[in-house]
Amino acid sequence: MNNLDQIKNPYLPSWEYIPDGEPYVFGDRVYVYGSHDKFNGDVYCMLDYVCYSAPVDNLADWRYEGVIFRKDQDPANGDLQGNLYAPAVTVGPDGRYYLYYVLSSHGIVSVAVCDKPAGAYEFLGYVHYEDGTCLGNAPTDEPQFDPAVLTEGDRTYLYTGFCGVGDKSRHGAMATVLGPDMLTIIEAPVFVAPGEPYSHGTGFEGHAFFEGPSIRKKGDTYFFIYSSQLFHELAYATSKNPTSGFTYQGVLVSNGDLNIDTYKPAEKPMCYCANNHGSMVQIGDDWYIFYHRHTNGTNYSRQGCFEKLTERADGLFDQAEITSCCGVKPLRGEGEYPTYLACHLFSPYDVTYIPWSGWMDDRFQKITQEGGDGDENLGYIANMRPGTSAGFKYFDCKNITRVSVTGKGYATGEVEVRTAWDGEVIGTIPVGYANVWKTTTVDMRIPDGVNALYFSFAGQGYWQFKSFTLHVQ
């Protein structure tokens, strides 16, 4: 059965690494702009900007739009030491599309422009004061980082900032107002959300601003989305004014499903976390939150995901649960599914964060791929040790009578299948030593209904888990 037309996380091909996703609807398509990680990369954002888009009525049909801006196009990056950090896009009063970004080697905001949303963009200039001083270079400025933009009429609101935990030299997220040329400052920066050292008594305690600002407007309310001091979560604040009065409202998503206590303890991470960055967007009548996950056992090979948000009666949103189906519609309970779709991946070691050193020792599992960066090879789960579990949510199960797993490795034991991370075993599949991918099928009845599926390795050695197949009568 062909499963390609289903909406799945990650929503882009498994060999594509586009974190920091900023989604926008232009016309009848949704466009996602992000930074561009490298498979097996050793720092963040090593590659040029690319863009993907999809019809607003088919979020399973993502189209590669190609390279839209190269890092050698910025005049300040002649030595190519600056990587293209997280970008944002807005439509100016002239109807053109403006791309805002910061190079990793410079604390100023660069701007590129194009007549079409998917590029290719051409360098325009740097955000500056009326005297020509670049934002970030004035004596009272803080370094610029992670721009977000929203244009209303002739005014463009630019949000930037970074503030690490305990770093009193930075204060939080800033808002700056630009004029109709999209470059010149007409209102100097003001702080709109506090960093951790300055969050006491503000209502942001425990979820203070860290990085990754984003801005959206819903009705007459501005939604300021950001990565909090906890790194793994995207929190949000709201205001009726774009440059003041923001009130903390909660968390939209965590890339470890932390805070959620509906199916597990709230503090239990369901996969290894690290930083997060993304934003929300309205597509049709529904709102979605775009975020990223971490693969390959490092911080530097991140992939974009999204979830459908649940809107409350007060117009705010509950935290979305991370899923393999984007929270939209359960996947069909039939056919073969690659394991890179795992939304949960955990071991007996309750570790919240990927080590910042950029490596994980052999106790830990990871989603990875064969080959090098750019090779179009499906991802899989490597290094499943005894007690390791991979979880997939959700499937519309009916009349499933057999289950297959495909794997290889120096492993002897069995794969236990459950419908809850801590549930009863409903069946087991024997696995053994294999040099090449080997498929094993057993009779197994999966309960009818919408279910999660968890596959846990029990035995000795380590096992590489490529895919599983659900067979119906």
Angstrom CA distances, 193 to 12, 117, 175, 214, 366, stand at: 32, 30, 9, 12, 34
Beta bridge partners of 282: 287
SS3 at position 208: coil
368: tokens are 């990875």
Q: Select from 224, 261, 262, 267 the least CA-distant residue to 242.
A: 224
Q: Select from 354, 255, 243 the least CA-distant residue to 303.
A: 255
244: tokens are 């003041």
Contact call for residues 454 and 421 (beta carbons, < 8 A): yes
Contact call for residues 147 and 158 (beta carbons, < 8 A): yes
Contact call for residues 108 and 138 (beta carbons, < 8 A): no
Is the preceding peptide bond at 10 cis, omega within 30 degrees of 0? Answer: yes
- The yes-or-no answer on residue 20 being catalytic is yes
348: tokens are 């007996």
Alpha-carbon torsion (135, 239, 173, 106), positive or negative: negative
359: tokens are 């490596």
Catalytic option among 22, 141, 211, 307: 211
Q: Which residue type occupies 149?
A: V
Q: Which residues contact 244 (CB under 8 A, 6 or more apart)?
A: 190, 192
Catalytic option among 16, 20, 74, 142: 20
Q: What is the rounded CA–CA span in Å between residue 71 and residue 279?
A: 23
Q: What is the rounded CA–CA span in Å between residue 164 and residue 166?
A: 6
Q: What is the rounded CA–CA span in Å between residue 82 and residue 71?
A: 7
Within a 10 A sphere around the Cβ of 368, how many other Cβ atoms? Answer: 20
Give Cα 303 to chain centroid, integer Å. 6
Point out the residues that are catalytic: 20, 211
